Every structure is written in C-alpha cells, then in structure tokens.
Amino acid sequence: MFQGADKTEFRRGNLESRDRFAAAPPGISLTTDNEKWPWGNPPQEVDVDVILEQATGRIEDDDIFRDELFKILAAGISVEHIVEAWVIDGFEEGKFSLDAGLLAKAPLAMYIAYIAEENDVPYRMFEREDINEDRRMDNRDYLNVMKTNNPNMFAVLKENMNKLVRTGLDALDEVQNSPPQQQPQQQERGGFMTQEAPPEEVQEEEGGDS
C-alpha cells in the first residue's frame, strides 16, 4: 500500500524537500486499516433493546451517576445534548453501532425527561428551547435540589450564609451600643445678599449757629 514519505526525513535544500508531491496525499488515511480504533471493529452490541436496558439500568442502579445527571440537568444542559453525547461516546468506544445508537436516542431522551419529572428536577428538552418563567428554578427549588443531591456543598453554602448574618448582627449591635457623636456646629455664614447693611453715617451739617 502506498504511503507518502515524511518530509521531515529530507534535508533542507534537497530536491525531495521542494517537491509538493513528496508528502502523503489528502485522504490516504481512509485507505489504511482502522482496526486499531474501537469504532473500526465490530460493535459489542447491535440490539436496540439491550442498549436501552444498559443505559437506563445504569441510571436506576448507579446513585452517583443519577445525581450527576440531575446536576447537569438543573444547570441547564438540555436532554438533547446529553443523549447526543451518549451516542457519540458509545460509538467511539465500540459499545454499539452508530445506527443502533441513533435508534435508541429518542427513547432514552424520553426516559431522562420522565425521571426528571418524577424527581422535580427542572430540565430543557431541546438545546434551542427557551426556559419559560413558569419552568425557571427559583432559589427555594435550587436549594432543595442541592440539599438532596449535593449535601456537602449545601452545608458549605449554609455556613457561609450564617457567617454573613452573624457579621451583620455584630456590626448592628456595635452601632446601636456606641454613644452618639456630637457633630461640631458650624457657624452659618450667609451670602453677601443676606448681610445687614452698615448704619448710615449721619453727616453733621457744617456752619450755622443754632
């Protein structure tokens, strides 16, 4: 099988280093054997039902995997994006063929949406779907999901909030217990329009005996 020579093997200035056709032509990798890649070998499974059972079984049995799935759903990652990543990953690792993964894509997406509804986890079905105001997670729901799925992070967040509250209360007590400070009174100075006019000088009349 033809394989182009590596241009790095030629010395600078040789005729081969200046030849445009000395390197391998584009697409030559398609003529090589791809058995060294998992997707180049026969897939491990081609039955769509078995592939779905393996995917849904992991979600049901693996608590850590299910909690991580709920986290990324609550973070705003769509179900469509999650399922597409699952298909690409399974095909590249040789777990199933590409056509079988595409056939299992829609049922798996519906299953993920179903368990999200059952556990009160907000989600987006499609990547371009806008989150409506009614479906947007408020702070109470966000804290409840975090308390259930990530209790360690919830405890850290709760301690930080309590620390801020204690700091604010201490500052308020300090202000209330401190004696009031008297501010120096500043002498009011009026403008030139408010100043009183000096008394008029009485001019004595000169001359004339009274």
* Rounded average pLDDT over 191-200: 54
Stated pTM of the model: 0.50
Over the stretch 15-54, which tens digit does the pLDDT of each residue have? 556 666 667 778 877 787 778 888 888 899 999 999 999 9
> pLDDT-derived band of residue 122, with 50, 70 and 90 as boundaries?
confident
Tens digits of per-residue pLDDT, 68-96? 999 988 888 899 999 999 999 999 999 99
Cα 82 to Cα 89: distance, rounded to the nearest angstrom: 11
The pLDDT of residue 12 is 62
